[in-house]
């Protein structure tokens, strides 16, 4: 088997928060193969966005990271010059709020073609032509007109499609998508997801898809990882994760979400609030919110261990196997 496209080993990230370095991500190891879609699901403070930022080398100033991130076999921290530029071309990022990531006084054309013209020496006409082709691919027919427009003239859904088209210009092999549809209407979300899904399959592009929506991740990703308080707590094939969760937190996320069909009952809400890594209790980070907590859970931090073809971080996982699903669907 060939090496994975992206491999994170024991990644830990600390950020300066109110004057001291605090851990927001730790013990994170994961891998994405070529053409694979991996979902990263979690709530506030889970570290899911920080993971994408670490991979894109976009950590905030003052951040400290340990462990390694390898892309196509090379440690990304050591990349310089031409190697770094080619990494940047091969790994594209799209964010939740397209308006915050575009310059309001520059046209869509400037925004889309800048990287091609400055880094890849493509002529203005050729860059525009490629932009128009890609806009057509994401369902924007009148690309030539759109290139002349400014971000405020486009709706959120349209602008997010422009972002996707722009991220494809350099023919990336890996797309980091950080909540790309969260700010969009549900019908527009379906459009954007179908575009991403189609492009990914056609181009064999790998994707790290970050979302708070377990259902959405399950629907579009091959495997899904659930994060809590800066750690991976469960990782499995998407359908298994949703239908037969192994970690009480995953089961909690499924049970807390109202259902679109079936009987309406009281939601199985998880008590308390989500924690960041630096606020988490010793032992299992989820212990203070978990229904199944025992003494061991508050004393010893569980390791991420293989189970049923996936990975889970829970002392009682084997014992609880098959029982969590009743909680979420009962």
**C-alpha distance from residue 213 to each of 254, 271, 320 (Å):** 10, 19, 24
Residues of this chain, 163-192, that bind another protein according to CB under 8 A: 185-191
3-state secondary structure of 244: coil
State which residue, 173 or 242, has the beta carbon closest to another protein: 242
Site string for another protein, 44-83 (x = CB under 8 A): x---------------------------------------
State which residue, 70 or 275, has the beta carbon closest to another protein: 275
Q: How far is the CB of 126 from another protein (least distance, A)?
A: 28
Helix (H) or strand (E) holding 93, with range, is strand 91-94
Site string for another protein, 199-238 (x = CB under 8 A): -------------xxxxx-xxx------------------
- Count of residues interacting with another protein (CB under 8 A): 47
Spatial contact of 189 and 217, defined as CB atoms under 8 Å apart: no
Q: Is 327 in the site for another protein (CB under 8 A)?
A: no
Question: Using CB under 8 A, which of the segments 18-26, 52-60, 269-277, 308-316 binds another protein?
Answer: 269-277
Phi/psi for 276 (5° steps) reads: -90, 165
Spatial contact of 95 and 101, defined as CB atoms under 8 Å apart: yes
Q: What is the DSSP letter of 19?
A: T
Q: Is 135 in the site for another protein (CB under 8 A)?
A: no
Q: What is the sign of the dihedral through the CA atoms of 95, 99, 105 and 111? A: positive
Q: Is 100 in the site for another protein (CB under 8 A)?
A: no
Q: Is 239 in the site for another protein (CB under 8 A)?
A: yes
Name which position in 163, 253, 280, 311 contacts another protein (CB under 8 A): 253
Q: Is 18 in the site for another protein (CB under 8 A)?
A: no
Helix (H) or strand (E) holding 35, with range, is none
Phi/psi for 169 (5° steps) reads: -55, -35
Q: Is 313 in the site for another protein (CB under 8 A)?
A: no
For 97: left if phi > 0, alpha if psi spans -120 to 50, otherwise beta; the answer is beta
Spatial contact of 242 and 215, defined as CB atoms under 8 Å apart: yes
- Structure token digits, residue 269: 């809400």
Question: Using CB under 8 A, which of the segments 28-36, 67-75, 118-126, 255-263 binds another protein?
Answer: 255-263
Spatial distance between the Cα atoms of 64 and 13, rounded to a whole number of angstroms: 6
Binding site for another protein (CB under 8 A): 43-44, 139, 141, 155-156, 185-191, 193-195, 197, 212-216, 218-220, 239, 242-243, 252-253, 255-261, 264, 266-271, 273-274, 289
């Amino acid at each position: 088997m060939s090496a994975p496209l992206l491999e994170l080993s024991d990644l830990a990230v600390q950020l300066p928060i109110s004057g001291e370095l605090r851990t927001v991500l730790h013990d994170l190891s994961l891998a994405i193969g070529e053409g694979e879609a991996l979902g990263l699901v979690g709530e506030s403070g889970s570290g899911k966005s920080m993971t994408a930022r670490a991979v894109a080398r976009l950590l905030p100033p003052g951040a400290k990271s340990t462990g390694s991130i390898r892309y196509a076999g090379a440690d990304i921290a050591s990349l310089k010059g031409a190697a770094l530029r080619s990494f940047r071309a091969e790994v594209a990022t799209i964010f939740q709020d397209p308006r915050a990531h575009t310059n309001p006084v520059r046209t869509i054309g400037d925004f889309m073609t800048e990287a091609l013209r400055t880094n890849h020496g493509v002529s203005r006409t050729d860059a525009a032509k490629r932009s128009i082709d890609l806009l057509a691919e994401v369902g924007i027919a009148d690309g030539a007109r759109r290139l002349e427009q400014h971000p405020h003239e486009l709706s959120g859904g349209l602008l997010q499609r422009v972002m996707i088209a722009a991220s494809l210009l350099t023919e990336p092999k890996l797309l980091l998508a950080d909540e790309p549809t969260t700010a969009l209407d549900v019908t527009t979300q379906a459009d954007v997801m179908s575009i991403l899904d189609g492009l990914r399959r056609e181009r064999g592009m790998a994707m790290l898809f970050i979302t708070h929506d377990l259902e959405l991740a399950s629907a579009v990703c091959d495997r899904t990882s659930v994060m809590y308080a800066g750690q991976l707590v469960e990782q499995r094939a998407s359908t298994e994760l949703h239908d037969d969760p192994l970690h009480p937190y995953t089961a909690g996320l499924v049970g807390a979400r109202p259902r679109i069909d079936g009987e309406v009952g009281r939601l199985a809400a998880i008590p308390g609030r989500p924690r960041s890594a630096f606020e988490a209790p010793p032992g299992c980070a989820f212990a203070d919110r978990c229904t199944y907590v025992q003494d061991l859970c508050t004393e010893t931090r569980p390791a991420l261990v293989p189970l049923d073809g996936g990975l889970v971080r829970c002392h009682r996982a084997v014992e609880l196997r098959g029982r969590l699903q009743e909680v979420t669907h009962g």
